Amino acid sequence: MTKKKTKKKAKKAKKKATKKKPDELAMVVSVQDEIVDQPPRKVGRPSKYSPEYADKLIEHMKRGLSFLSFAAEIGVAESTISLWAEKHPEFSEAKKEGFSKSRNFWEKLILAASAGKLPGANMTGIIFNLKNRFPKQWSDRKDVHMSGNMKLTPGKVDWEYGDDEE
């Protein structure tokens, strides 16, 4: 057999092997269409998030409890509820509202305790809680920022201020 005939024969055999019957071709096309029409599958475990958690979070924090302690209430990790706050706008808004309600709880508690309405209340604990959980509103420390340059030379300190003149 010549080289030309061998090539023709191989080409014909390849064509025959790849040739499909009309029934098989229709089935392949319908399977492909089915695959294309399906929404992409999500990777990983399905989220335990439920929109009702937003209301439950507000109720939880209204009692003076923290945002992160809500994770223990519903049986998920703290990192999970932090991700939910980033991903779900209604949960993020519930978190903000919950913080306000939690601070309100503690402020009412300290007012009642200081008015003598809660005998034996631990004022130090209440103040500690307020200062640590709500530092913007309750911190004793005020940050003061200065700008300028300081030159250090042995035995002498020179200050250079921005545009201020002495």
97 part of a folded domain: yes
14 part of a folded domain: no
Q: Which helix (H) or strand (E) holds 147?
A: none
- Structural domain including 109 reads 52-135
Give pLDDT, residue 128.
94
85 part of a folded domain: yes
71 part of a folded domain: yes
Give pLDDT, residue 79.
96
2 part of a folded domain: no
CA distance 112 to 126: 11
33 part of a folded domain: no
In the chain, the number of structural domains is: 1
CA distance 132 to 130: 6
28 part of a folded domain: no
Give pLDDT, residue 110.
95
| Alpha helix ranges (H) inside 38-122 | 52-62, 69-74, 78-87, 89-114
47 part of a folded domain: no
pLDDT single digits (tens) 103-146: 999 999 999 999 999 999 999 999 999 999 999 899 887 777 77
Above 50 in pLDDT, residue 166?
no
Q: What is the dihedral of CA 103, 108, 114, 120, to 10 degrees?
A: -90
